[in-house]
A and B are shown apart, each in its own frame.
Chain A
Amino acid sequence: MTAAPVAPPTAGVRAQRRLNAALLYVALVPLALLFLAPLWIMLVFSTQPETAIFSPNPPLWFGGAFAENFRGLQADTNFLRTLLNSTMIASIYTVLSMLLTSMGGYAFAKFEFPGKGPLFGLILATLTIPAFVTIIPQFILVARDLQIGNTYWAVILPTLANTIGIFYMRQAFQTVPTDLLNAARIDGANEWRIFWQIALPIVRPALAALAILLFLASWNDYLWPLIVLTQKDSYTMPVALGTLVGLTRVSWGGIMVGTAIATIPFLALFLALQRHFVAGIAGGAVKD
């Protein structure tokens, strides 16, 4: 009586499947190792003295020179100060940009109002305009008109209105039932309260993913901080590392410590939150 079950795979089919799986591993394992190799070498070299890095047989396992390399890096760049700058800038940027993009995304997702279409179209259109186009007027604005060069705000303000972010939050808020918001309206809650206490908590997973992406983007940004920060003590971590890489006599042990410190927290976070990370990048990137 029941529908015929799918025929169990024959021996031939199973053998074929095993062969395919084997081929998959033969291709993927070396490629995966190749992708991990630069990270491995970065971690290993951060713990090795310069003599070992430059030796004919470079080490592939950890050594004991991390502290020594770090001291060199700190002496060259005031690295702790640049870490503080990077942390402050990335944190302030992340919080403010999340607030701005979620407020805007909420309005585009949950309100009908005159001008909505053209406004959204305008923001959409700038997505395909390379950021390069704005870099010189932004510099003039920040350095000359606003006189905030070398401050955290010089780095933060121009990138705050994140275009991808507003799309991402708009999509997230579209999943919030309008009936729920209307129910709150009938209960007399004002619009800000509805947004802050009802809609925002519902999209918390999307917010978490966006927060990671915004923080990472700000933390790793190089060109813009390089342009607006001209004093050593206001440098962010990538700018400080960049000045070292450009030198003729390069202290590689120190640079590897810097790159490792900049990378390890995110590798750990990535391992722990892989799913959110992947969902965040995919959700932020793919438009409906």
Chain B
Amino acid sequence: MTTTARSTTSPPVATPPRRKRPPLAPYLFILPYLLIFATFWAWPIVSSFLMSFKDSRLGAAAPYGLSNWSRLVQDEFFRTALRNTLVILVIQVPLMLSLATVLAVALNSKLLKAAGLFRFAFFAPLVVGTVAYSAVFRLLFNTDFGIVNRALTGLGLPAVDWLNQSGPAMSVLILAMTWRWTGYNAIILLAGLQGISEDVYEAAAIDGATPAQQFWKITLPLLRPTLLFCLVLSVIGTLQLFTEPALITNSGPGNSTMTLGTYLYQQGFRSFNFGYASAIAYTVAAIAAIFSVLQLRLFGREQ
């Protein structure tokens, strides 16, 4: 596949006084990427927007209008999905990023021996696929034979009906996502930490700064761009949450863990209501954009 494009036999041309030729090569290098990018990314972004103004249930000849959008603002299932997604976002992302920051600092510490072992423990979940770990978490939190309830009753605590009550079901999702993604963020933060010069800490230590002071006054401020990057990516990822609520809680009980992702899937690929699903998709994009701007404003100063 890759060798067919190889053509190495053009005659060497000596052009001593360098003349400006129209640069064709860079365009040829970018062309394959751009073709795919335009077909499967750029055009769909536009197309999805147009589709959100068409009632796809009426067929191709349907007029453009606001019917999907007016339905969206009145749709209580949509409101439930939006609220659930935001609740998960507001709890899970800060929880995960704080844990990831602390972990990255701990793993970066010179006091830690066998750092490789610890790195393996915390980073191992990031090679596990979302389907695989969703299955494992569904099994772990099973009410009747799940290991978590076995451990709770073993400690003399009451068992919890994890997946059949809205609050506990939500916490299982949050725990699962935290387990899966903390290590990923910790790696990125660890790389950010290693970019901070030793000298800064040595100077601070000479001035008598305690480790806690060093963390708040040096590490966090210098890590801010990396944290911002993790934050933006995590927010976009969580807004598209699909696999975990689909496979761990099946959006239930009731619709109490239905997310924008599972609702979009249901509207788009169960009811084949493409126009309405596109309106949901663009709402996700709009929320992502608002969050990105907010985050840049709040945390992105000086950058």
Chain A residues at the B interface, C-beta cutoff of 8 Å: 17, 20-21, 24, 27-28, 31-33, 35-36, 38-39, 41-42, 45, 53-58, 92, 95-96, 99-101, 103-104, 106-108, 111-113, 116, 119, 122-123, 126, 128-141, 157-161, 163, 166, 187-193, 195-196, 216, 219-220, 222-223, 227, 238-239, 241-242, 244-246, 252, 255-256, 258-259, 262-263, 266-267, 269-271, 274, 277-279, 281-283, 285-287
Contacts and interface: CB of A to CB of B under 8 A. Distances in A.
A143 to B, nearest CB: 10
Contacts of A130: 236, 239-240, 281, 284-285, 288
Contacts of A132: 239-240, 261, 264, 281, 284-285
Nearest to B185: A285
A107 B32 CA distance: 12
Given A24-B112, A38-B137, A39-B128, A58 B147 contact: yes
B72 to A, nearest CB: 15
A161 B30 contact: no
Given A222-B243, A267-B124, 16 more contacts: A21-B112, A41-B139, A103-B32, A130-B284, A133-B285, A161-B40, A195-B29, A220-B128, A220-B129, A223-B261, A227-B269, A242-B247, A255-B139, A259-B129, A270-B127, A281-B126
A190 B28 CA distance: 13
Nearest to B46: A137
26 contacts: A32-B122, A55-B145, A108-B30, A111-B23, A119-B30, A128-B236, A129-B288, A130-B281, A132-B261, A132-B285, A135-B281, A141-B44, A191-B25, A222-B242, A242-B131, A242-B243, A244-B135, A246-B247, A256-B136, A267-B127, A269-B127, A277-B123, A278-B119, A278-B190, A282-B191, A287-B229
B36 A100 contact: yes
A278 B274 contact: no
A113 B130 contact: no
A244 B39 CA distance: 34
A131 B11 CA distance: 45
Main secondary structure of the interface of A (DSSP, over half): helix
Contact of B44 (A28, A57, A138): A138
Contacts of B34: 104, 119
A123 B29 CA distance: 15
A263 B48 contact: no
Contacts, number: 291
Given A24-B112, A136-B274, A274-B119, A286 B229 contact: yes
B44 A245 contact: no
A258 B41 CA distance: 32
Given A32-B121, A35-B121, A255-B135, A128 B288 contact: yes
B135 A245 contact: yes
Contacts of A126: 41-42, 45
In this complex, which of A33, A36, A134 has the most chain B Cβ atoms within 10 angstroms of its Cβ?
A: A134
A100 B32 contact: yes
A209 to B, nearest CB: 12
A223 B264 CA distance: 12
Given A41-B136, A241-B132, A161 B121 contact: no
Interface in B96-143: 103, 106, 109, 111-112, 116-140
B12 interface: yes
A238 B129 contact: yes
A53 B145 contact: yes
Interface stretch (B2-10, B73-81, B163-171): B2-10
A216 to B, nearest CB: 6
Q: Which 8 A-B pairs have the closest CB atoms?
A: A188-B12, A282-B191, A220-B129, A137-B44, A259-B132, A111-B26, A32-B121, A134-B44
